Amino acid sequence: MTSFTNNVSQLIDRIRDKTAVLGVIGLGYVGLPLAVEKAKAGYKVIGFDIQQKRVDMVNQGINYIGDVVEDELKELIKQGSIKATTDYSEINKLDVVAICVPTPLDSYQQPDLSYVRASAGEVARYLRPGILVVLESTTYPGTTEEVVKPILESTGLICGKDFFLAYSPERVDPGNKLYNTKNTPKVVGGVTAGCTEVAATLYEQVLESTVHRVSSPAVAEMEKIYENTFRNINIALANEMAILCNRMGIDIWEVIDAAKTKPYGFMAFYPGPGLGGHCIPIDPWYLTWKAREYNYHTRLIEVAGEINNSMPEFVVERIGHILNEERKPINGSTIHLLGIAYKKDIDDFRESPVIKIMELLEIRGATVVFSDTRIPAFTYKGKNYEGVELSKENIQKADITVVTTDHSDFDYELLGNTAKIIFDTRNAIKSVKTVGKLYRL
């Protein structure tokens, strides 16, 4: 017990005096901003990634993540505060390592933990006494203790005695101009009280926000799933209300504006063409899968998922009805989609509902073009897509323009003054005068 107490105090001392060397596995939307914040806090940081292109870009000071300031990255590289590598043997230099790798769903809507297992395996190869390992990847309750811990303990070292292990969920919201990695409160749950304390001490040195300690990794894992399930379900409610309001001839946006005047008991969520990104449309299914182990069926979560997943088809159905009023079929019509990204002001199209809308329209014979100020081109299922400029000429060519992503830098005045028909799924042009017909979700 005394040696473990010494390990706790020694690592905490190294964390507090900034002599601890920190590592981050996975330099994506979570890992790179975290690595940068740790380096800005005065630590030496080593980032690990299996993609050589990412590693080269980081080492050249070239940023590819919206939440990172490129000038800051360049300066940190110049100072030697941060570096990236594909050589996982450098884990043996670390005092702390955070695992920030993807946790997607497989084709059966089940969690794919292959990246987590592979990363834990690399850490285990170079595990040494006194190191802190923190899993940040979003996952189902039990992952840290049921998956990561056994892999690390296969070395013969014991968690809570020889090394520290904790879970601290990422809370990245791409495009959020108010909250980022540095100022968003952090939740930490360790396998033991000592593990929690060491991990919490680290984040208290790195972040400006509060650090909330919980009793176990499972609590921290569940709270992250709960956060995103909360949003998923409430967005599903907004989407279902939008469908019903459309049939009843009621403006859903006016309804929400009225409802949010209530100062208590209501939080505004908004409808849209569907959910995208790696978190909200995916994370609740981790819990649904895990619940089966306990003979429980998460009915509300599954229904919410079904509603949100059906929105691209609802949007296409509305497009068909709108064109039908003009005596035009979808087949042969030119449909201009405004925005490919899954949310405003970001360049991320992972799980974007707009891709599904595009596919459905193409199946029905439409000529689909798109404009996106953040994504001028993209590749999906091996096919290359090139966007077009949001110009007067391109707008006039379209039979209908559909606002699918409400980027702030779109020229909505030009759109309103030019388009024949606009279908706005984001309520982006509510204050813009239009010369043509305007429809809203």
The phi and psi torsions of 402 (rounded to 5 degrees) equal: -115, 120
Residues with catalytic annotation? 279
State the residue for tokens 């990695």. 181
Residue at token pair 């509305």: 318
Phi-psi region of 60 (alpha: psi -120 to 50; beta: other; left: phi over 0): alpha
Structure tokens at 384: 């290359």
Do 37 and 76 form a contact (C-beta atoms < 8 A)? Answer: no
Single out the residue of 402, 263, 288 nearest to residue 334, CA to CA. Answer: 402
Place of tokens 């995916």: 282
Retrieve residue 394's tokens: 């391109």
> The tokens of 235 are what?
């967005």
Kindly provide the b/e burial profile for residues 311-324, where b requires at least 16 CB atoms within 10 angstroms of the residue's own CB: bbebbbebbbebbe
